[in-house]
Amino acid sequence: MMDNNVPSVDQSDRQVPINLRQSGPTPVEMLIDTRVRKSPYWELSMQEGCWRASIYNRMYHPRGYVPREDGGMMVEYQSLVNDVTLWNVAVERQIQVKGPDAEAFVNYVITRDATKIPVMRARYVILCNEAGGILNDPILLRVAIDEFWFSLSDTDLMLWLQGVNVGKGFDVTIAEIDVSPVQVQGPKSVDVIADLVGEEGRTLPSYGLMEAQVGGHDVIISQTGFTGEKGYEIYLKDSTKYAEDMWNAVLAAGVPYNLKVVAPSHHRRIAAGILSWGQDMDFETYPFQVNLAYQVPRKKEADYIGKAKLEAVREQIAAGTPPFRTQLVGLLVGGNPITDYAPDFWLVSATAGGEAVGYVTSPWYSPELEANIAMAHVPVDASELGTEYWVHLPEPFADTPGEPVRAEVVEMPFRPSVNPNQRERLKMNGLDAAV
């Protein structure tokens, strides 16, 4: 599989190959210092038992509460799918675009049509560079006719937006604002939100927004989330001042519903086919590679960054000559249950003894399917449903140490979502969302 620890996967279509070196877990202590920001909810997360973190958007991000010896992430998952959970997701920094040209500017930097987003509605969007690579896939909130918030995934989009406008000169201000979100996710989240803000919260539509107060302070609530379950996000204004009041109000409202503070549930977002920037895609990934073709509209007349390249790539795909080597697919994977984060992009081969041709990006065990599920990049010309692959799992997940386990390409999402995204809705309506 490996020669001098250099992976054999052909990545000649990339400027900077994905690091596929299989280093495994590295037992080091995470340094907490002042060059990485602590969110307003950081100490509150520590009080709830957070024992590990990662860094996301240059901010410390809680990634585990239940200790491994007590079941770890799989116990947290049960709270999500059966009751209700609270997540510290302040790492979703809020970049405000405000001014007379806000709609025109946003329409220029996202691939979707910003003019079709009503006030007090949100959308999942992507931003691309001129080469068609995905820069960020935020939730975009339109909070006023002249004001949008980009709720970011893991890249510093503020600097890009400000840089774009240096040359374009739209009449807008672009800045990070003191707004920090939490997520309230799970089947009982609707009851928690209704108890906090009234029955309007119960009827809030998917991707709808509402203004309210939680803990006596102003918030915007959206019916969105990173799970596929019923869920909401609460965006607290002036969060550096009022984090404790809002957080404690949510905890108190959640007591009758067995609310638990947990980390983001990647096993559930994988099952829902929700992507994670930096794992499943990056700056050199085209939307067409990762099932985001629906984000590249055929009928958007206005120009936007990356439009010419993306339209050319669509034509190449239609002609059978895509300019990329891999396609993101869903895999059912053998082996023992994968019950924690993967420390590597595990390698994928076409045969049990063959060279690596792809790599797993996001694997977890699905209790509902009683199987390991994963997203993986595999050769685009061998990405059809039913295609057999072999995944090189490390101990303790491999059936036999040193031997790969069988996998099969299957449809995503792996299980239905309570709040289906646009790609799922297109599929349910029999519309082509691929190209």
8: confidence class by pLDDT, cuts 50, 70, 90: confident
Q: What rounded mean pLDDT belongs to the chain?
A: 94
Instruction: Give the residue numbers of the binding site for substrate.
Output: 233
> Quick one: which of 173, 183, 119, 129 has its CA closest to 151?
183
Contacts 24+ apart (CB under 8 A), 218-224: 219/246, 220/141, 220/143, 220/179, 221/193, 221/197, 222/122, 222/139, 222/141, 223/419, 224/122, 224/139, 224/419
- Within 8 A by CB and 6+ apart from 13, the residues are 323, 324, 325
| Model-wide pTM > 0.85 | yes
Q: What percent of the chain has pLDDT over 70?
A: 94
β-pair partners for 208: 121
The 10s digit of each residue's pLDDT in 209-257 is 999 999 999 999 999 999 999 999 999 999 999 999 999 999 999 999 9
Average pLDDT over residues 375-387: 98
How confident is the model at residue 72, as a pLDDT? 96
pLDDT at 432 over 60: no
23 or 204, higher pLDDT: 204
Cβ atoms of 249 and 236 closer than 8 Å = no
Closest CA to 139 of 160, 159, 125, 154: 125
- Give yes or no for residue 84 having a pLDDT over 90: yes
434: pLDDT strictly greater than 60: no
Record the tokens describing residue 97, joined without a space.
């675009």
Query: Distance (Å, rounded) from C-alpha 96 to C-alpha 102?
Result: 10
Can you say which residues are annotated as belonging to the binding site? 233
Model pLDDT for residues 170-222, shown as the tens digit of each residue: 999 999 999 999 999 999 999 999 999 999 999 999 999 999 999 999 999 99
pLDDT in tens, 283-341: 999 999 999 999 999 999 999 999 999 999 999 999 999 999 999 999 999 999 999 99
The 10s digit of each residue's pLDDT in 86-138 is 999 999 999 999 999 999 999 999 999 999 999 999 999 999 999 999 999 99
| Range 395-422 average pLDDT | 88
Domains of the chain: 1-28+325-435 (2.40.30.110), 32-64 (no CATH), 179-257 (3.30.1360.120)
